[in-house]
């Protein structure tokens, strides 16, 4: 979320890479530039940190310069359930340095958000082409959605067929990290990387006054206090691609820190 979120990623990602040694790093960048979408420069800066894939969300087109960029940079995903004529792609197959392959799928929910194609059908169409533990080592789904019910439904819909379903969009890290019955890791929302002394990353006085007065007010701008990096670590079983564990990550800022053991 904005400059402070980008700075937190730059500050804390080296520690995550050093201590946890992840094979694949996925970052949601829906609010990375000024709180609305992402610019080409900021996208390149994030990739330069060693990020393998960036997912967008409902703000993917807010920075107009990203339209030609996403057409040529496959590591930036837009939701797959946009119309087929939309530039960019909704999935990416990544090969890690150790040879393991990870399919990353990005979809946008429909409850309280945009009226797009069915995200469940869109994700299923992709998943039907792969088999975790056989044709691909792991499959990670970033489901960018408002309603926790829709996110949980997606988790159960894909349970046993993908390695993990992790939600984004609401800017609040949920305390429901767990491995579902069929072996799919789930978290309703990985949380915002940004300043939590705010209203979901926005300078707090602006939305507070809007709620109190119920009138249009100052333009929403990102809060620029110390940021917390939020995310999760997913560990998979090499034999079948299903999840062994999912653990939250929170570093810096005002939230209590938590870091998985290496």
pLDDT of residue 140: 98
Distance CA 127, CA 133 (A): 13
Residue 115 has a CB neighbour count (10 Å cut-off) of: 5
DSSP letter at 235 equals: E
- This prediction has a pTM of 0.95
Q: Is residue 259, in this structure, part of any structural domain at all?
A: no
pLDDT of residue 86: 95
**Number of structural domains found in the chain:** 1
Q: Is residue 257, in this structure, part of any structural domain at all?
A: no
pLDDT of residue 55: 98
In order along its 262 residues, the chain shows pLDDT tens digits of 999 999 999 999 999 999 999 999 999 999 999 999 999 999 999 999 999 999 999 999 999 999 999 999 999 999 999 999 999 999 999 999 999 999 999 999 999 988 899 999 999 999 999 999 999 999 999 999 999 999 999 999 999 999 999 999 999 999 999 999 999 999 999 999 999 999 999 999 999 999 999 988 888 899 999 999 999 999 999 999 999 999 999 999 999 999 998 6
Q: Is residue 205, in this structure, part of any structural domain at all?
A: yes
Q: Is residue 106, in this structure, part of any structural domain at all?
A: yes
pLDDT of residue 49: 97
CATH number at residue 183: 3.60.21.10
Q: Is residue 261, in this structure, part of any structural domain at all?
A: no
Q: Which domain range does residue 231 map to?
A: 2-251
pLDDT of residue 51: 98
Residue indicated by tokens 């946008």 = 108
pLDDT of residue 168: 97
* 33, 57 contact by CB (below 8 A): no
DSSP symbols for 74-111? TTEE--TTS-TTSSS-SEEEEE-TTS-EEEEEEEE--T
Residues that are catalytic: 59
What angle do the packed helices 119-127 and 148-158 form, to 10 degrees? 30
pLDDT of residue 219: 86
């Amino acid at each position: 979320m904005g400059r402070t979120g980008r700075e937190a990623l730059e500050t804390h990602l080296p520690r995550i890479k050093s201590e946890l040694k992840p094979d694949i790093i996925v970052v949601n960048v829906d609010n990375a530039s000024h709180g609305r979408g992402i610019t080409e420069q900021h996208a390149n800066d994030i990739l330069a940190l060693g990020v393998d894939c960036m997912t967008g969300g409902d703000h993917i087109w807010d920075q107009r310069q990203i339209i030609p960029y996403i057409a040529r940079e496959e590591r930036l995903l837009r939701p797959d359930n946009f119309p087929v004529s939309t530039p960019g792609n909704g999935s990416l197959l990544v090969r890690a340095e150790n040879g393991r392959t990870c399919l990353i799928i990005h979809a946008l929910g429909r409850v309280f958000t945009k009226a797009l194609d069915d995200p469940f059908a869109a994700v299923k169409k992709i998943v039907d082409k792969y088999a975790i533990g056989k044709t691909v080592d792991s499959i990670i789904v970033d489901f960018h959605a408002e309603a926790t019910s829709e996110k949980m439904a997606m988790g159960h819909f894909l349970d046993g067929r993908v390695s993990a379903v992790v939600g984004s969009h609401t800017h609040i890290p949920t305390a429901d990290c767990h491995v579902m019955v069929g072996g799919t890791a789930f978290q309703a929302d990985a949380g915002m990387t940004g300043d939590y002394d705010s209203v979901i990353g926005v300078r707090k006085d602006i939305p507070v006054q809007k709620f109190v007065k119920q009138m249009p007010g100052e333009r929403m701008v990102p809060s620029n206090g110390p940021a917390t990096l939020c995310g999760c670590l997913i560990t998979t079983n090499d034999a079948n691609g299903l999840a062994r564990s999912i653990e939250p990550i929170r570093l810096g800022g005002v939230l209590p820190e938590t870091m998985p053991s290496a």
